[in-house]
Chains A and B, each alone.
Chain A
Amino acid sequence: MTAGGARRTAWQNCVFALFWLSGITAMAVMLAVVGYVMVKGIPEFSIDFFTTSPRGGLSGEGGIASTIVTTAYLVVMTMAIAAPLGTAAGIYLVEYAGNSRNRVATAFLKLSRFGIETLAGVPSIIFGLFGYALFVTAMHFGFSLLSAALAGACLVLPVVVRTAEEAFKSVPDAYREASLSLGATRWETIWKVVLPSATPGLTTGIILGVGRILSETAVFYVTLGGSCRTPTSIFSSGRTMALHVYYLAMETRAFDKAMATGAVLVILIIFVNLAINAVSKRLSAGGNRS
């Protein structure tokens, strides 16, 4: 090997060492955060922690029972609004507007895509601002599950529409043509052929939305109120687990409880990710079959 070649190889080794170092550092930094929360949080887990509600006040006593219930209600309510609406919008965009040569439909498609792209880049606090002003104040829903769910639905709608669109687009046109040629109407084709084939993709979108609601804090900080009681109706105030972490950290000195609640959240997010991976594996398996 020439002297120049040796120098270039030596240089490459130096640079690659640097890349190894930065890769390891990045991983170490990120794991340190999650690891710290888990190590400090998990020892606080106990039956009491999961079955009693926060007692409120400055002491930070009590568990997280009511926050689990509130989180579950909120996730269900938000997705009950966002999932059907987003899926239906996705169907329209792909199955009707997408195939149409009508100029209005094409313009609608372009506008929607631009709107959804824009909405996806909007910081969540803007949704909070909107939700607070419209649902909490103007519509008099107050700080409530309903206001929070409506604001949350606006937040996850772009995610759901986008994944729905992708899911419908990935259904081969041959399926539609076969169904239509057998005499099925357009709606029958969508309902009996396209929708079942797109189910794994739609599921991914919904799970992504659930993850987003689990980890969102800013929107619910300004729409949900923050009462630590278990909600009794859709007009009850409440606090999600993420919000509970915030209140514990900022208004009490109960950092251990905050860490424990944070650890619960991290574990839930791990499950959400596993679920997404499992669904997308099924998705690719289905793709191979066809």
Chain B
Amino acid sequence: MTRKGIIDEAMRVVLLCAGLASLSIVVLIGLFILRESLPAFHEIGVWNLLSGKEWRPGQGQFGLLPMIAGSGLVTLGAICLGLPLALCCGIFLAEIAPTWIRVVVRPSIELLAGIPSVVYGLFGLVVLVPAVRQIDYPGNAGFGLLSASIVLAVMILPTIASVSEVAIRSVPDEYRQGALALGSTRWEMIRRVVLPAARSGILSAVVLGLGRALGETIAMIMVIGNSVMMPTTMGGPLPGIFLSRARTLTGNIAVEMSYATGLHSSALFATGVVLFVLIMIVNSAARALMSRNVRGGRP
């Protein structure tokens, strides 16, 4: 074999190793977290972990339900507040806004998607928490699900708006021209033709936003109060639950990781597994919806 041939073969092996290393990192992360969480699943039991309402590591009580409720409620709140605004913003930018607005707004939305979450958390801590504290409600401290939902809504806004805008713009112009030629107004064209055609892209924008909401850590620690109690309405009407302090699954890991040992540490890994499974469920649910849509969309 010539020298060139040897180099060629050697580089192929080196690059293969790099590919394998990248892949093995994925496998390694999965295996490692599963292995570390096994003692918790084994000793505490999957059902007790998922349905236990008490999280007292000192007394050997490891119930994740308060954190699951916290993550779920804060995501729900963020979606309720942020999703309509974000989608309208995406539609506005793609179909309605004049070019000069689009030219200015699109880069700034991209920028906002890259702003560190700690900056959003800081804003929440300094501005939103004192504002929420003004609401006259028993037990309201400002820190809680409402503040966290607002922060999260602002954080997912740029993600959902920009991805859904791209999805809407990728609808072929022939669709629009066809609808207009048939005599529909521009709004009818958007509602009946463009939005249905862009549905799968819009859905993936929502999934991305959901994933970001469920996975957010630092901003949540800063404004949600980090209480390990089940969120309650504190004796008031149901919406009052959003004034309750809570803790997210992500926050549970971050806050306690550095001093946890033994079963406690393992329970935190189990928290990570639960979080991961939750995100996987959201993703695959959305993927299932999307594939159904693609099949329906192909006449």
* Interface residues in chain A, defined as those with a beta carbon under 8 Å from any beta carbon in chain B: 8-9, 11-12, 15-16, 18-20, 22-23, 25-27, 29-31, 33-34, 36-37, 40, 84-86, 88-89, 91-93, 95-97, 108, 111-112, 115-116, 118-119, 121-130, 132-134, 154, 157, 161, 185-188, 190, 211, 214-218, 221-222, 242-243, 245-246, 249-250, 255, 258-259, 262, 265-266, 269-270, 272-273, 277
B97-A30 in contact (CB<8A): no
- Shortest C-beta distance, A53 to chain B (Å), equals 19
Q: How far is the CA of A270 from the CA of B111 in the complex (A)?
A: 7
B92-A22 in contact (CB<8A): yes
Could you give, for residues 20-31 of chain B, a 1 whenever the CB lies within 8 Å of some chain A CB and a 0 otherwise? 011101110100
- Shortest C-beta distance, A192 to chain B (Å), equals 12
Q: How far is the CA of A133 from the CA of B273 in the complex (A)?
A: 14
A126-B185 in contact (CB<8A): no
Contacting A at CB under 8 A, from B145-188, are 154, 157-158, 161, 185-188
Known: A12-B185, A123-B275, A187-B12. A85 touches B21 (CB 8 A): yes
Question: Can you list 10 A-B pairs, Cβ within 8 angstroms, ordered by A?
Answer: A12-B186, A33-B154, A89-B19, A91-B18, A92-B15, A112-B23, A123-B216, A133-B36, A215-B115, A265-B116
Q: How far is the CA of A15 from the CA of B121 in the complex (A)?
A: 34
Contacting A at CB under 8 A, from B245-277, are 250, 253-254, 257-258, 265, 268-269, 272, 275-276
10 further contact pairs, Cβ within 8 A, besides A18-B88, A125-B272: A8-B188, A23-B96, A34-B115, A85-B18, A88-B18, A161-B22, A217-B116, A217-B218, A218-B117, A255-B125
Which residues in A have their C-beta under 8 angstroms from that of B272?
A: 125-126, 129
B22-A85 in contact (CB<8A): yes
Interface centre among B117, B119, B125, B265 (most CB of A within 10 A): B119
- Shortest C-beta distance, B105 to chain A (Å), equals 6
B118 at the interface (CB under 8 A from A): yes
Known: A15-B187, A185-B4, A266-B119. A124 touches B211 (CB 8 A): no
B55 at the interface (CB under 8 A from A): no
- Contact residue among A112, A127, A217 (Cβ-Cβ distance under 8 Å from B19): A112
B254-A23 in contact (CB<8A): no
Interface centre among A19, A86, A242 (most CB of B within 10 A): A19
- Shortest C-beta distance, B30 to chain A (Å), equals 8
B276-A122 in contact (CB<8A): yes
Interface centre among B84, B92, B283 (most CB of A within 10 A): B92
B103 at the interface (CB under 8 A from A): no
Interface residue count on the B side (C-beta < 8 Å): 81
Contacting A at CB under 8 A, from B109-137, are 109-112, 114-123, 125-127
B196 at the interface (CB under 8 A from A): no
Could you give, for residues 225-251 of chain B, a 1 whenever the CB lies within 8 Å of some chain A CB and a 0 otherwise? 000000000000000000000000010
Contacting A at CB under 8 A, from B5-55, are 5, 7-8, 11-12, 14-16, 18-19, 21-23, 25-27, 29, 32-33, 36
B57 at the interface (CB under 8 A from A): no
- Shortest C-beta distance, B120 to chain A (Å), equals 6
- Contact residue among B4, B119, B185 (Cβ-Cβ distance under 8 Å from A262): B119
B114-A124 in contact (CB<8A): no
Q: How far is the CA of A9 from the CA of B189 in the complex (A)?
A: 12
B23-A115 in contact (CB<8A): yes
B214-A123 in contact (CB<8A): yes
Q: How far is the CA of A246 from the CA of B97 in the complex (A)?
A: 37
A23-B97 in contact (CB<8A): yes
B108 at the interface (CB under 8 A from A): yes
Q: How far is the CA of A18 from the CA of B91 in the complex (A)?
A: 11
Which residues in B have their C-beta under 8 angstroms from that of A217?
A: 116-118, 217-218
A30-B26 in contact (CB<8A): no
Q: How far is the CA of A242 from the CA of B122 in the complex (A)?
A: 11
B89 at the interface (CB under 8 A from A): yes
Which residues in A have their C-beta under 8 angstroms from that of B202?
A: none
B60 at the interface (CB under 8 A from A): no
Known: A125-B217, A132-B257, A258-B122. A19 touches B18 (CB 8 A): no
- Shortest C-beta distance, A147 to chain B (Å), equals 12
Q: How far is the CA of A132 from the CA of B33 in the complex (A)?
A: 11
B279 at the interface (CB under 8 A from A): yes
B76 at the interface (CB under 8 A from A): no
Which residues in A have their C-beta under 8 angstroms from that of B126?
A: 40, 249, 255, 259
- Shortest C-beta distance, B17 to chain A (Å), equals 8
A126-B122 in contact (CB<8A): no
Q: How far is the CA of A123 from the CA of B109 in the complex (A)?
A: 22
- Shortest C-beta distance, A129 to chain B (Å), equals 5
B107 at the interface (CB under 8 A from A): yes
Q: How far is the CA of A126 from the CA of B26 in the complex (A)?
A: 12
Q: How far is the CA of A31 from the CA of B84 in the complex (A)?
A: 18
Interface centre among A27, A34, A97, A132 (most CB of B within 10 A): A27
Which residues in B have their C-beta under 8 angstroms from that of A250?
A: 221-222
Which residues in B have their C-beta under 8 angstroms from that of A262?
A: 116, 118-119, 122
Which residues in A have their C-beta under 8 angstroms from that of B127?
A: 36
Which residues in B have their C-beta under 8 angstroms from that of A97?
A: 19
Known: A121-B279, A211-B114, A262-B118. A26 touches B217 (CB 8 A): no
A89-B115 in contact (CB<8A): no
